[in-house]
Amino acid sequence: MAANKSSDRIIEWFKQEGALTQEGNLYRAKRVFVANSIITWIREQSTGLQQDEIEYVMKTVRLFLQNQVDLKWNLGRIEIGAIPGGETRPLFGEI
């Protein structure tokens, strides 16, 4: 039950950020898959992370959802880059 509430909150956050929209039976979620994978990773790693590290990653995910930066997974690392397709650098951690 707690996982469902957490998932519902994340879905609502995606909607608030404009990253998840619905048009009839069609959902548009261009950047949600990558963002959700990063959020899932952060939740799994949260006991070993400092609060400021978690906040940094979440702020960066928000910028990603707003199309201000690019995020991607590369060999188990989260990389951040400029839009469009600029040079990337590691954001944080490994999976």
Alpha carbons within 13 A on the beta-carbon side of 34: 22
Give the residue-averaged pLDDT of 29-42.
Answer: 91
Q: Report yes or no: 48 and 95 within 8 Å, Cβ to Cβ.
A: no
Residue 81, domain extent:
2-94
What pLDDT is recorded for position 95?
A: 41
DSSP codes joined into one string, 64-85: HHTTSEEEEEETTEEEEEETTT
What pLDDT is recorded for position 67?
A: 86
What pLDDT is recorded for position 27?
A: 86
The tens digit of pLDDT for each residue in 42-94 reads: 888 888 889 998 899 899 999 999 888 889 888 888 888 877 655 555 555 54
What is the tally of structural domains in the chain? 1
Global confidence as pTM: 0.75
